Homo-oligomer: A and B are copies of this chain.
Amino acid sequence: MKQAKISEAVVRRLPVYLHVLNELQRSEIQTVSSQDLGQRLDLNPAQIRKDLAYFGEFGRKGIGYEVSYLIEKIRQILKLDQQLNVALIGAGNLGQALCNYNMYIKDNMKIVAVFDAHPAKIGSKINNMTVLDMEHLKPTVESLDIRIGIITVPAVEAQNVADKLVSSGIEGILNFAPAILKVPEQVRIHHADFTTELLSLAYYLENGADNNDDDKVVD
């Protein structure tokens, strides 16, 4: 059974499913239906079933999905069944905040090295890690088997850092800088640029005077 090409939209929903499933497990709920998941996530049950079916048959007809089994499967799909080492570049407030998120451990993602270009930062400690000089990037990526890089430097430095990550052999980048980065095709880049979300949020604010309720939804 070869996998059809799976769209990004599908892949992006998997972590969301995982998140709810983890909550269900914490509540000691054993089994869940696509119906129920759909309600909790505001998604169509058929979509959830279809998403999961791309990867295998994880449910049981008439019953639903076993929570722990589905968690296990989604974690496999997302490659979270192995530890994934991450490097973080940019030891500012944002970088420190990310380092402190211990959520990584649960998901087998771990920031194992922190880098910065500024002498003032180098040598300081974040979460028991010593901030390293950029010179150490490539050797560290190689010796610690780091596969993902997180960029938390200012926008002007972001492309430069991305280039260095690429040539150090990283496979994926999560970019927090509000900048459009060019990387070779084989390197996957995801954006965590909240400015887009914030500015587009403004669009939906009421305009004081004119409330256009021409698209009012009734259910």
Q: CB within 8 Å of B: which residues of A?
A: 1-3, 5, 8, 11-12, 14-16, 18-20, 40-41, 55-56, 76-80, 84, 92-94, 96-98, 100, 103, 107, 109, 147-148, 150, 171-172, 174, 176, 178, 180, 188, 190-192, 194-207, 212-217, 219
How far is the CB of A36 from the nearest CB of chain B, in Å?
14
What is the oligomeric copy number?
2
The answer to whether A79 and B207 have CB atoms under 8 Å apart is yes
The answer to whether B205 and A19 have CB atoms under 8 Å apart is no
Q: With A55-B217, A203-B11, A205-B172 as given contacts, are A198 and B19 in contact (CB-CB < 8 Å)?
A: no
A3-B212, A190-B201 are known; give 19 further A-B pairs, CB within 8 A.
Answer: A3-B216, A15-B199, A15-B200, A16-B196, A20-B180, A41-B180, A56-B217, A78-B199, A80-B199, A84-B205, A92-B100, A93-B94, A98-B194, A107-B195, A147-B205, A172-B202, A172-B205, A174-B194, A188-B204
How far is the CB of A120 from the nearest CB of chain B, in Å?
16
Closest residue to A198 on the B side, CB-wise?
B174
How far is the CB of A151 from the nearest CB of chain B, in Å?
12
